[in-house]
C-alpha cells in the first residue's frame, strides 16, 4: 500500500521526467511543427507548476506565491511570443520564446518543489 509521501514522490518524478523530456525535445527536434507543440506543452507544464507553487503556499509564503505568479506570467508570455513568431515567420523570436518557456518551466519546478 502506498502512502501519501510515496504518491508525492511518484508525482514529482513524473513531473521531473516530463519537464526534462519536453525541454530536451523542444531544442533537439528540427521540425517546426514539433517544436511548436513542444513549446506549448512546456508552457502548459509551466502554467501547471505555477498553479502548484501558488496553491501549495496557501497564502502564507509571499515569496513562493510571487514566484508562482511570475512563472505563470512568463509561461503566458512565451505562448504569446511563440504565436507572434509563427505568424511573422521570425526564427529568432521563436528561439527566444522557447528559451523563455524552458526558463519558466525550470524556475516553476524549483519554486513548486524546492522552496
Residue 56 confidence (pLDDT): 82
Alpha helices in 1-115 (DSSP H): 4-28, 32-57, 62-88, 91-113
Residue 54 confidence (pLDDT): 86
Angle at 39 between CA 38 and CA 44, to 5 degrees: 95
- If phi over 0 gives left and psi between -120 and 50 gives alpha, with beta otherwise, what is residue 3? beta
Verdict on whether the full-model pTM lies above 0.75:
yes
Residue 55 confidence (pLDDT): 86
Spatial distance between the Cα atoms of 31 and 26, rounded to a whole number of angstroms: 10
Residue 53 confidence (pLDDT): 84
Residue 87 confidence (pLDDT): 95
pLDDT per residue as tens, the chain (115 positions): 889 999 989 988 999 999 999 999 999 999 999 999 999 999 999 999 998 888 887 778 888 888 889 999 999 999 999 999 999 999 999 999 999 999 999 998 888 777 7
Among 44, 6, 12, 41, smallest CA distance to 110 is for 12
Among 93, 109, 92, smallest CA distance to 23 is for 109
| Residue written as grid cell 507544464 | 45
Amino acid at each position: 500500500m502506498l502512502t501519501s509521501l510515496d504518491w508525492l514522490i511518484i508525482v514529482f518524478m513524473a513531473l521531473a521526467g516530463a519537464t526534462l523530456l519536453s525541454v530536451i525535445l523542444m531544442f533537439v527536434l528540427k521540425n517546426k511543427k514539433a517544436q511548436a507543440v513542444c513549446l506549448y506543452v512546456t508552457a502548459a507544464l509551466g502554467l501547471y507548476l505555477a498553479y502548484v507553487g501558488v496553491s501549495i503556499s496557501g497564502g502564507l509564503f509571499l515569496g513562493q506565491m510571487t514566484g508562482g505568479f511570475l512563472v505563470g506570467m512568463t509561461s503566458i508570455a512565451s505562448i504569446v511570443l511563440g504565436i507572434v513568431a509563427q505568424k511573422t515567420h521570425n526564427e529568432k523570436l521563436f528561439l527566444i520564446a522557447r528559451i523563455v518557456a524552458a526558463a519558466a518551466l525550470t524556475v516553476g519546478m524549483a519554486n513548486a518543489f524546492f522552496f
